[in-house]
Structure 1
Amino acid sequence: MGMSVTISAAATQDVEQIFRLRYLCFQSEAELYGNYRIDPLVQTLDAVRAEVEADLVFVARLGDEVVGSVRGLTDAEGTGQIGELCVHPRLQGHGLGARLLRAVESGLTAGRATTRFRIHTGHRSEGNLRLYRREGYARVGDTTGPDGVRMILLEKESAAPVAAGV
């Protein structure tokens, strides 16, 4: 291949690729839970467009192809809410998920009063849980998502500034 993967802020022209990538990546999660109504599979293109416009969204690119993405926003309590972290199946296991996670953490602390980060994943998603633990997240609770999947909530304190590591 010869190209390296770069991480950058998402742009409007990335919306369609992010939309398709999420749909592809979250198929394995849907299969794991026997539930094809999980949010990334029922989300509309317009909803992804609104996220890219309003939230902090990063993408991983291999040339012109979006091969990973993550979304974040800081809520009124100063918690950086992170979601929809995904990496194309053919590139998983090469550290892109961790790079995207660090990029969004760094972005959420730049010029914001982010005191901690929160992320969630399904209770059977062992690979995701391993990644989040390795990146310093600890379980703080669980909840049931609107789609009926039991979600594990994980948090870590913000150590501003976060090293981007991208």
Structure 2
Amino acid sequence: MGMSVTISAADEHDAEQILKLQYLCFQSEAELYGDYRIEPLVQTLEELRAELAAGCVLVARLGEEVVGTVRGRVDAEGTAQIGRLCVHPRLQGHGLGGRLLAAVESHLADAFGPKRYHLVTGSRSEGNLRLYRRLGYTPVGTERDRRVTLVALAKDAAEYAASA
């Protein structure tokens, strides 16, 4: 390709590219569960713009193209909620998902000092589960969202600090 992928904070100009990427990336999840009304596929541009204004949204860029994204926020209890991690299908399997996750953890640690990190993924999403376990997340429970069983995973912020 000749260019390297960079990770930075997203801004309002990235909203449409993020939404298109999210829609592309979550098609396989929707197919896996037989549910094309999962949250990432029904989110509106206005809802995404509100997230951009209120939280931490990072993007991975290859030149001007957004090829990955992740979001995070810290709740009142000090838990960093991480979500919507996605990487363009043509770049999956090259470590970009791990880089994005590490970047959002680092950003949230520096800005908010969370006590722990928390994320969810579909129970049938083996690739996601492998990635999160490899990066120190352990299952802490399950949740039900429409027709999808989600696995909740967490890791203590002290574990992140030791690995950083």
Q: TM-score range by the shorter chain?
A: over 0.9
Give per-residue Cα distances to partners, 1:75-102, cap 9 Å, x unaligned.
Answer: 0000000000000000000000000000
Question: Which amino acid in 2 is paired with 1:106?
Answer: S
Alpha-carbon distance in 2 for matches of 1:32, 1:13:
31
What do you get for the CA RMSD once the two structures are aligned?
1.2
Alpha-carbon distance in 1 for matches of 2:163, 2:17:
27
Question: How do residues 34-53 of structure 1 correspond to structure 2 at under 5 angstroms?
Answer: 34-53=34-53
The alignment's TM-score, normalised by the length of structure 2, stands at 0.96
Q: CA deviation at 1:12?
A: 1.0
Question: Which amino acid in 2 is paired with 1:3?
Answer: M
Question: How do residues 20-31 of structure 1 correspond to structure 2 at under 5 angstroms?
Answer: 20-31=20-31
Question: Which amino acid in 1 is paired with 2:155?
Answer: K
Question: How do residues 16-95 of structure 1 correspond to structure 2 at under 5 angstroms?
Answer: 16-95=16-95
Equivalent pairs, count = 163
Retained in 2: the 8 A contact 1:121–1:151?
yes
Retained in 2: the 8 A contact 1:87–1:96?
yes
Q: Counterpart of 2:2? A: 2
Q: Counterpart of 2:154? A: 155
**Secondary structure in 1 matching 2:112:** coil
Retained in 1: the 8 A contact 2:117–2:156?
yes
The alignment's TM-score, normalised by the length of structure 1, stands at 0.95
Q: Percent identity?
A: 64
**Secondary structure in 1 matching 2:17:** helix
Retained in 1: the 8 A contact 2:33–2:147?
no
Retained in 2: the 8 A contact 1:109–1:162?
no
Distance 1:71 1:162, change over 3 A: farther
Structure with bigger helix share is 2
Retained in 2: the 8 A contact 1:102–1:162?
no
**Secondary structure in 1 matching 2:94:** coil
Retained in 1: the 8 A contact 2:25–2:86?
yes
Retained in 1: the 8 A contact 2:26–2:41?
yes
Question: Which amino acid in 1 is paired with 2:150?
Answer: M
Question: Which amino acid in 2 is paired with 1:150?
Answer: T
Q: Counterpart of 1:15? A: 15
**Secondary structure in 2 matching 1:154:** strand
Matched, 1:100 2:115: no
